[in-house]
Structure 1
Amino acid sequence: MGSCQLPEGTPNRNGDECDVVMNLSASQRCEFVKNTPDCASDEGFIKYPVVTFCLFPPNLLPLAITLYVLWLFVLFLVLGLIASDFFCPNLSAISSTLRLTHNVAGVTFLALGNGAPDVFSAMAAFSHPQTAGLAIGALFGYLGLYIAYVLTVIVSAYIYNRQKHQLNGSAQTSGREQGEILPSDSYREIQSASMQAHDDGEYEPLLPYTQSTAQVFLNAINPVDSRTWRRQHWSAKVLKVIKVPVEVLLLLTVPVVDADKEDHNWKRPLNCLHIITGPLVCVLSFQSGKYGLLLIEGEVPVWVLILCIGVFLSGIVFFTTTNERPPRYHFV
């Protein structure tokens, strides 16, 4: 009772595989994905089969596929954002703290972070017989993308070096015509500084000023730089608008220690908030949130215990530090 019967003559290898849903009539698909265990997945927050066949009418199936393609594009943007703004600075800070060379960090932490998504996705795919072929295809498709990536890097380096030599030659020729020779590096620095001053129309204040705790927090979670926004192309602005909600969410939950900055990216109110939000995100993301909802002694959920511990530690850090200077344990 509650299960769908396949029409007579419909090919069926197992009887419980979710991929036979397309062999059913449009009126049976929603009930089928709801009652078939193979269509249920505990590895994500979005139930794609239910959304596709229960929320969208049958005639809007192409629209659902189009939205999924756009959603995949957004996920790739998020992945690139996480790698560039959150993973790489933290990797640099870890390497500096442990006094590792760039080569050692590249073959250890960078390799681990780069290969972890492929390893875990392959393990998840091989755990189900119907997706094993997808895992093999994904692994070889990773190899194909890597070859394309290497070729892109080689071609880009060639183009960059060629343009660099042309720029140096034109700068030296211009200097000879004026009776003096400007070093290429100095020429580019002067040109870049003049262009930046002309485009920005504003300069950094010469004297530092003390910001309040609220100002430090608001500036720390603002991912838009007003000085560069006006110079960006409209396509870059569109991508930025798409990434802003994700950036704000990541800024509120992921701590970043940047060794290239003078204060190592110490933002006292935001870093204190990270002590609360970071563990909460981890415990509510593990096993699609089911782990965080487990009850301790049948009464207290796990996420409540994590929240209380985070608030306690956050209060200690907040009242024992200042906005101007990071504590000695900031690298943790």
Structure 2
Amino acid sequence: MAYLPFYITPEEFSAYQEEQEQEILKGMNLTTWHKHDIEEPFRYLYLSIAIAAVSPLFFLTYFLHDNSDMILTYILSGLTIIMSGVSYLTFGLDNRYDYTLSDRGLVIKKRRNLPNWVNSATQVMGWIGAIVCILMVAFAGPVVLVGAGGFILVSFRMLKRQPNEETEVLVALRENWLCCEYCKNRKVIELYHKHDDCSYQDTAKTTVTRYHSIGSSYLFVSSPKQLEETLNMLNQEFELDCKEVQKAKDLFDFSKLPEIYKTTPFRGTHYPLEAVGTLRTSNAPLPDLEYISSILAKE
């Protein structure tokens, strides 16, 4: 069965996923690994953004440094150190990917690579950063807002951080794999596949978004050797078509998709949670099939 039953609840979907994950764990050629990375052509894009976000404070500290007023210098230096950490935690963190791969399918669990203790520490840093910003304005005047105004907002944002990072789980059964592309320089494989998707559309959890979908998943590896071993498994043991892509940016470009992906049908719709039972018992018709190729042709 390529897809799960269509009219289900998100809770039922999670239970189905757990069963599928257990089946994949029982498969042959089981391989598990994890990797910290980001879904961008440039591996260190997020870190670069974090550095750029805090750079005004470095310049501000340099230009306002005055040996005759060391209090201001200490405040600016402390603020720069604190906000560097805040900027990194806000913009610079990688994602953590946990992979389970066997002849029965693929499981990917993705979340931001944020240690549990960071949430409490970030809230403390937010308080300190906000207080230091206000003190700096009091000592140096409104001119410092040019470099520090935005970081006051970031500091208060840190005070409202949630205690846990959500984990995204994707299960792609072996029978649903379509093809894959890879880039040696970036050490990444993009696996195209069919997959199920079911979630709540609203925070009140009254409307369900449901798809018999298609998509792709990035398999990041740590070394050229691991890349070669994974490709050999996909191509030779699992008989999956694997194509090399020279430029990493092409793997992250939605306009450059393999033909088999563009011509594979998918369907999706929204329905009220309370109507799930009725839709199932009445054998309600499924939504019409759609194709990526048709959508691209209309644009």
TM over 0.5: no
Q: Which has the larger radius of gyration?
A: 1
* Greater relative CO (CA pairs within 8 A, separation 6+): 2
The TM-score normalised by the length of structure 2 is 0.24
The TM-score normalised by the length of structure 1 is 0.22
Larger % of strand: which?
2
